Chains A and B, each alone.
Chain A
Amino acid sequence: MSTSAEKIVTSTHDGQKAEHKQRKWQDYFTFNTDHKVIGIQYLVTAFLFYFVGGALAEVMRTELATPEPDLVQPEFYNQIMTMHGTIMLFLWIIPAGAAFANFLIPLMIGAEDMAFPRLNAVAYWMFPIGGILLMSSFFVGPAQAGWTSYPPLSLVASKWGQEIWILSILILGTSTILGSINFITTILKMRMPDMDIHSMPLFCWSMLATSGLILLGTPVLAAALILLSFDLIAGTSFFNPAGGGDPIVYQHMFWFYSHPAVYIMVLPFFGIISEVLPVHARKPIFGYRAIAYSSLAIAFLGLIVWAHHMFTSGTPGWLRMFFMATTMVIAVPTGIKVFSWTATIWGGKINLNSAMLFGVGFISLFLIGGLSGIMVASVPFDIHVHDTYFVVAHFHYVLFGGSVLALFAGIYHWFPKMTGRMLNETWGRIHFALTYIGFNLTFLPMHQLGIQGMNRRVALYDAQFQSVNMICTIGSYILAVSTLPFVVNVLWSVFKGEKAGRNPWRALTLEWQTSSPPAIENFEEEPVLWAGPYEYGVDTEMIDEDSSIEEMLAEVSAEAK
């Protein structure tokens, strides 16, 4: 199949026809309803916030290079720590997932646009607005109660910063809800007529699961934040023990959203990996249905494990046991994915380019984060390491080693589609090497720090941890440097990169059937579902035994010209 795919693909190089509307650069800076524009807008905005969040992380790491709080005041440390967590989660990784979803879903299912294009644009624009609002809290002193904003601390520290934090999370949350409504409707209702739900790309499955979680989880967070806001501004005491309230109720409401949120942050990237690996390993994805359904299983289980973040707070013993068991069960569907990905690579013809490097890097690092996740799910052990750097290590492994690495894999993979130009391979590999080394140097030692007794969210720590912290700090500098080759590569390639053509990877999903970048109406002619999304390797046998298909494909490619 793939050999014939190439024929089709390379034959149509001329891009859009004259009568098609042309994309103007201004489109990217205005209220535009095209899902591709919105996808790029999401991606670029998210990256801008990533640099802010990363820069804050570097300040934190520099502070933590020595045990004394000498670089910044402890109070300011807590503020940038809070902002780092909030930015990375709500302004970087969640919108970055939405970026890929926006760009890819309609293309992958052969639709012209999202179900509700205007709603989609509204959802996008709420994101920079919420983000800038959050940044503006630097003028009044940002929130300093951590991204979890537990009361009563959040009620007594940085009142206005906290209120701005609440408002901006409400805006960002609403934005994701609107987005998820769009994704679900588009995926379920707008697939091209012959694509049944079991022949749609796995990325769409993962977005279905993600959107379900957003829809069910985010409103509960909104409820919690509204009540918190009342406590903060109107003097009620829902969560304030001094007035008869209960801070633990906030924790339940917060984690009812925020645990599913961690899967909101990783499932889209699971989807990306399921797309990237088969293409560059030239093999069908191993266990399509298992991967598709495991996304749904993870989403479902994700809704009933939230109290594993509260093992040491006000959770009675038997509840801790229940939440421990449900949490551990998540290893099963996630394991199915990990093993299936591994089996996909096994026996393939791997093209170890940057996308694939990041893809394999993702599996290797997410695995570590997942294993430490199962460890912290065990109550007796979590009682020891809760709120320590062990947990910090866990979630950076799943969030950075997992989501962010997969995100880079996705960028190297779809950049040609998004811009029509290839990224430079050498610089891509350098980017990967630096990221991989820097990442492990930064976060692997943190496991040890946590177990040995270093608590998180501290600007000053015990002198015995200095040397290990120094290693982490050096690693984080390597990480900072690692973004440079990437940024340079992207900026250079957008203008000067090698032209990509329709389908540089000879991939089978529908987005590769259209020009790069795709025409405004996505497909110049009806897209053709002439193969499942992952039917690699079937070509040779097929064409030998059945020549009529050969003819048909020739016809298709003629039509495509």
Chain B
Amino acid sequence: MQSSALDESKVTLNYHHEAAGHHGHPDHRMFGVILFLIGDSMTFLGFFAAFLIYRTMMPVWPPEGTPELELLVPIINTIVLVSSSFVMHQGQTAIKRNDVSGLRLWFGITAAMGAVFLLGQGYEYFHSELGLTTNLFASCFYALTGFHGLHVTVGVLLILSVLWRSRSKEHYSSGSHFGVEAAEIYWHFVDVIWVILFILVYLL
């Protein structure tokens, strides 16, 4: 911009330009999804930060009398959720080969694994001695896992909607499968969050 005068090349260039980008709409949806996930990760960051502040500031943490968290179910859950990410990726690989039934298969399995995770979470809630208001740790536990569970639920719904749309063979193809990619990146995101959450809440 410094010392700029009328830029001649710009003028000529522009004037005869038949604007490829202007009429053909390039697809920015993926960019938008990533921005959304950045925002969403800040929500979790907020929760995690609060949790960590409590953890470091409170004299006893978890507060006295908090029953030990059962680890078996959450560990199984972690394994299920982490491996589901790999399963799901197979689905995307399939659609890149134009293999819609492959996509349906792998996504179906992923959805089922997500459901298993949610069931496991439910089991944990019902069998836990912690109540939502037992103490600060219990409240944090439910808030964090609950908010994450909400995300898993949304993820499962997204996968199901991909499955629903893929009933017609033409909907997704190797060239156009934004829905598949969006659902997948979201799922990976939820997965990563879970790993952090698991370490923070269960292991630390």
Contact of B39 among A192, A219, A224, A237 (CB under 8 A): A219
A215 and B139 contact, CB distance less than 8 A: no
For B40, what are the chain A residues with a Cβ–Cβ distance below 8 Å? 219
Tell me the complex Cα distance, A252–B36, Å: 23
Tell me the complex Cα distance, A69–B53, Å: 41
Query: For residue A236, which residue of chain B has the nearest CB?
Result: B139
A215 and B35 contact, CB distance less than 8 A: yes
A246 and B54 contact, CB distance less than 8 A: yes
B10-23 vs A, Cβ < 8 Å mask (1 yes, 0 no):
11111101111110
For A181, what are the chain B residues with a Cβ–Cβ distance below 8 Å? 32, 35-36, 39
Contact of A530 among B11, B50, B143 (CB under 8 A): B11
B28 and A236 contact, CB distance less than 8 A: no
Rounded to whole Å, the gap between the CB of A204 and the closest CB of chain B is 14
The listed residue with most A CB atoms (<10 A of its CB), out of B10, B53, B63, is: B10
Question: For chain A residues 532-556, which have a beta carbon within 8 Å of chain B?
Answer: 532, 535, 538, 541-542, 546, 548-549, 552, 555-556
B43 and A219 contact, CB distance less than 8 A: yes
A526 and B28 contact, CB distance less than 8 A: no
Tell me the complex Cα distance, A236–B53, Å: 17
Q: How many pairs, one residue from A and one from B, have CB atoms within 8 Å of each other in the complex? A: 165
Query: For residue A555, which residue of chain B has the nearest CB?
Result: B15
For A185, what are the chain B residues with a Cβ–Cβ distance below 8 Å? 28, 31-32, 35
Tell me the complex Cα distance, A243–B134, Å: 9
Contact of A532 among B1, B46, B143 (CB under 8 A): B1
Does B4 touch A at the CB level, under 8 Å? yes
Rounded to whole Å, the gap between the CB of A229 and the closest CB of chain B is 10
Main secondary structure of the interface of A (DSSP, over half): helix
B10 and A220 contact, CB distance less than 8 A: no
Q: How large is the interface on A (under 10, 10 to 19, 20 to 34, 35 or more residues)?
A: 35 or more
For B32, what are the chain A residues with a Cβ–Cβ distance below 8 Å? 115-116, 119, 181-182, 185
Does A245 touch B at the CB level, under 8 Å? yes
A528 and B15 contact, CB distance less than 8 A: yes
Contact of B14 among A222, A230, A252, A530 (CB under 8 A): A530
A289 and B14 contact, CB distance less than 8 A: no
A234 and B6 contact, CB distance less than 8 A: no
Does A19 touch B at the CB level, under 8 Å? no
Does B135 touch A at the CB level, under 8 Å? yes
A220 and B43 contact, CB distance less than 8 A: yes
Q: Can you list the 7 inter-chain pairs with the closest CB atoms, starting with the nearest?
A: A223-B46, A219-B42, A220-B46, A219-B43, A236-B139, A181-B35, A215-B39
User: What residues of chain B have their CB less than 8 Å away from a CB belonging to chain A?
Assistant: 1, 4-8, 10-15, 17-22, 26, 28-29, 31-32, 35-36, 38-47, 49-50, 53-54, 57-58, 63, 132-133, 135-136, 139-140, 143, 147
Pick 27 A–B contacts, CB within 8 A, sort by A: A185-B31, A192-B19, A193-B19, A218-B42, A220-B43, A223-B44, A223-B46, A223-B50, A226-B143, A227-B47, A234-B132, A236-B133, A236-B143, A238-B143, A243-B135, A245-B136, A249-B53, A288-B1, A526-B14, A528-B14, A529-B14, A530-B10, A532-B7, A535-B5, A549-B8, A556-B11, A559-B15
